[in-house]
Structure 1
């Protein structure tokens, strides 16, 4: 699933293209991806709306339109939102096309078909499932060392589970929680409220550093992710633990191991993350 760095990269790439353009029409080829309103009403309302801005909240894209409307997009596991020329060949997994007044298109492509769209008045944004409950943005001013320390102190869950909890910190997923914990030298099964002040600081700094580095690399392309122009990211070349089972740790040389909990894998170094 695209995580904060990937969604932020998509936001930045399509923000270079979309603001000021008007949506002339839309074709929906997979109605179930439209959550609100009905697919018919969605197409009617989006026509003749100008794109004003593109933003991100957690793993959600927020595209502000004229007349007070906001297009909310959650890419889920394999969703791609790509700005492209009309003559570009269309993927067979293209489920939604927005036609733009400059002759280009914004296409939604999704192999697994889990992505979702909402078109709502700005005042109703909090009614979008999952959006209203998001926690703090980890690269914002609100995310401070004190905030993290207080949040950890009250939690008895594991660090990995807590980092994945979108109501606590918005945007982290499986890839970056593993990378953050390795960078901080913390075991993923460690109980959150047992961290010492130096360990809290190490976790705080690792969250910011890993996310900033991943954004600078335009995200991690290990499966389907591409940015808003269809280009792959490069952070997969810098992954230290995620997907690296059996490979030597870049810090201590011990082989990376994998834990499994349900359907989720966690990668860590048994030498650095005791």
Structure 2
């Protein structure tokens, strides 16, 4: 599932291409992926201009010129692909990405934004509805108000493991399964460390590790190898640079020991038992 680095990378790429552009076509092949009738969805979007693209947590918000928002959550198995494609006489794309596409949004000069939503959704919302739907999200990792002290406060009173709290979108928005393990490795603490036992100096390392890992991953296009365009050579670049995630049984890049793969609360977890401690 895409997390902060992937969605922020996609946001920047999409903003360069569609900000200020009018929507010319809307094709819905799976009505369950949207929240209003297909005809209403098309009528509301065609002719509207995308003012800008915002990211909140793992989601993208497309701000339209009539004040409404398109809220996109790819969730597991979702994709975004932006290509120049001609349409067939019945309004369907001549070609599509290999994965199934539930919504296609057209822009001038024949560009199409393909959106695959196996478990995700693309909802048309008013400003009030968008605010309400995002109200429970925690702060962004790079929010200037999220100081070290505020960061530590987000975890106060939480029970269970560090990883469980890190992936909780109500604690910090945008961190998921991959980067919770990468952050824990950078901070030299196990993802399954009990929050109540974590030492003060470890919290400081976690705070700085969150920033360094997410910034590095975003600059390298994240770990998901799903390029936005044919000439996109950046997306997925972090996949080959993960320190522990998805590297179970492989040698640790720090100490040469073996990376352990296990599960916690039905989530995959990766760590180095030598480099990472339990507090």
TM-score range, shorter chain: over 0.9
Q: CA contact under 8 A between 1:81 and 1:106: conserved in structure 2?
A: yes
Looking at structure 2, the residues matched to 152 and 173 of structure 1 have their Cα atoms a distance apart, in angstroms, of: 16
Residue pairs, 1:1-80, within 5 angstroms: 1-34=1-34, 36-80=35-79
- Aligned with 1:48: secondary structure? coil
Match of 2:155 in 1: 152
Match of 1:101 in 2: 108
Looking at structure 2, the residues matched to 19 and 125 of structure 1 have their Cα atoms a distance apart, in angstroms, of: 19
Looking at structure 1, the residues matched to 159 and 38 of structure 2 have their Cα atoms a distance apart, in angstroms, of: 43
| Structure 2 unaligned spans of 5+ | 87-93
CA-to-aligned-CA distance 1:144-202 (integer Å, 9 cap, x gap): 10012222332222101000100000000110000000110111121113222211110
Looking at structure 2, the residues matched to 90 and 153 of structure 1 have their Cα atoms a distance apart, in angstroms, of: 47
Looking at structure 2, the residues matched to 122 and 143 of structure 1 have their Cα atoms a distance apart, in angstroms, of: 25
- Aligned with 2:102: secondary structure? strand
Pairing partner for 2:122 from 114, 117, 122: 117
Looking at structure 2, the residues matched to 62 and 242 of structure 1 have their Cα atoms a distance apart, in angstroms, of: 28
In the TM superposition, residue 254 of structure 1 has moved relative to its aligned partner by 1.1
Pairing partner for 2:166 from 160, 163, 167: 163
Looking at structure 2, the residues matched to 114 and 210 of structure 1 have their Cα atoms a distance apart, in angstroms, of: 27
TM-score by length of 2: 0.91
Describe the shift of the 1:226–1:144 C-alpha distance in structure 2 as closer, same or farther (beyond 3 A): same
Q: CA contact under 8 A between 2:20 and 2:50: conserved in structure 1?
A: yes
CA-to-aligned-CA distance 1:124-146 (integer Å, 9 cap, x gap): 21343xx2211010011122100
Match of 2:90 in 1: none
Q: CA contact under 8 A between 2:73 and 2:121: conserved in structure 1?
A: yes
Looking at structure 2, the residues matched to 233 and 19 of structure 1 have their Cα atoms a distance apart, in angstroms, of: 23
Paired positions, count: 266
In the TM superposition, residue 262 of structure 1 has moved relative to its aligned partner by 4.8
Looking at structure 1, the residues matched to 57 and 154 of structure 2 have their Cα atoms a distance apart, in angstroms, of: 18
Q: CA contact under 8 A between 1:21 and 1:102: conserved in structure 2?
A: no
Looking at structure 2, the residues matched to 16 and 58 of structure 1 have their Cα atoms a distance apart, in angstroms, of: 20
Describe the shift of the 1:14–1:121 C-alpha distance in structure 2 as closer, same or farther (beyond 3 A): same
Q: CA contact under 8 A between 1:185 and 1:272: conserved in structure 2?
A: yes
Looking at structure 2, the residues matched to 145 and 61 of structure 1 have their Cα atoms a distance apart, in angstroms, of: 27
Q: CA contact under 8 A between 1:2 and 1:76: conserved in structure 2?
A: yes
| Structure 1 unaligned spans of 5+ | none
- Aligned with 1:141: secondary structure? coil
TM-score by length of 1: 0.92
Q: CA contact under 8 A between 2:81 and 2:97: conserved in structure 1?
A: no
Match of 2:89 in 1: none
Match of 1:263 in 2: 266
- Aligned with 2:226: secondary structure? coil
Moved over 6 A (4+): none
